[in-house]
Amino acid sequence: MRSRIAIVLLASLATFAARPTAAQQFNSDSYLSKPVGMATLILTWGERNSMLMNTFSLLPRWEFTVAGYLYDDDRNPGTDDGYSTSLYAKYMFFENHAKTGGFAMKFGTGLDPGYLDAENRLNDAFRSWWTNAPATIPFLDNQLSLDLMPGASVTTSFGPENEVVWAFTYASRLAWYPTKPTWSLVGEVVGAEGKGTSPAEYRVGFRWEPNLHAVFAVTYDHEFTGPNGAGVEVGMMLFTPPFFPAPK
């Protein structure tokens, strides 16, 4: 109950303070930073964890994000198994002329649950610090869009000895738009190498983008070699119009 109250408070603060990162329930992110003044609300319900994420585009090419995760490892909706938070910034270095691909850098504290084992993910903010580099590459006249996101993290107080441990993180997402840009089939691979990390996972799903202000997705996630995974997840992203003009 305490963790539920904590995440509700975090969500409320995020709503007033802060939009992936258009990642939704996917670990991978694209290169894109939304235009200045826009905000994004991301809600995901899942069998393993649920998420509320808010991002504001406060400066040109910059996004600032606050996210909260609520865990339910035993799959019992009447209980929860703790929570964690994530705070980070993103800067878009490059965007192609067609605005379909580019490169960005992210840095922050508190890793996505898909990278961490169950004992290491709780209250992860300000214990784990990370950076990664999302890159988006379009193919076949934009019918395929590939996101690559290599990264690294350091945890400053791991285990009973409070060790400092490093990890390499990776995520790759491929979206296929077979007929029109309003819907796609998506596959993703995500994992990490280092102490306290979880086995690599795969995620497959359907994504629907009916207009410029909303994206909906249904996905299934499982570990490649282990018995666990995020299971079924349902999520949505809501994009606002710009609240204020870009600085001149």
pLDDT for 234:
95
Task: Grade residue 218 by pLDDT with cuts at 50, 70 and 90.
Answer: very high
Is the distance from CB of 181 to CB of 209 less than 8 angstroms? yes
The pLDDT of residue 11 is above 60: no
Once rounded to an integer, what is the mean pLDDT over residues 201-217?
Answer: 94
143's CB contacts (< 8 A; 6+ apart) are 176, 177, 178
**According to the CATH classification, is domain 2-239 in 3.30.70.260?**
no
Kindly report the backbone phi and psi dihedral angles of residue 199, in degrees, each rounded to the nearest multiple of 5, phi listed first.
-60, 155
What percent helix, strand, coil does the chain show, rounded to 5? Answer: 10, 55, 40
Task: Grade residue 55 by pLDDT with cuts at 50, 70 and 90.
Answer: very high
Tell me the pLDDT tens digit for each residue of 63-96: 999 998 888 766 665 556 677 889 999 999 999 9
What's the predicted TM-score (pTM) here?
0.83
Residue 214 β-bridge partners:
211, 238
Once rounded to an integer, what is the mean pLDDT over residues 185-201?
Answer: 90
Give me the sign of the Cα torsion angle 76, 79, 80, 81.
negative
Q: Which of 48, 28, 59, 49 is nearest to 207 (CA)?
A: 28
Alpha-carbon distance 175 to 215, whole Å? Answer: 14
What is the rounded average pLDDT for all residues in the chain? 83
Task: Grade residue 210 by pLDDT with cuts at 50, 70 and 90.
Answer: very high
pLDDT for 190:
93
The pLDDT of residue 151 is above 60: yes
pLDDT for 16:
32
Q: How many Å from the N-terminal Cα to the C-terminal Cα in the chain?
A: 47
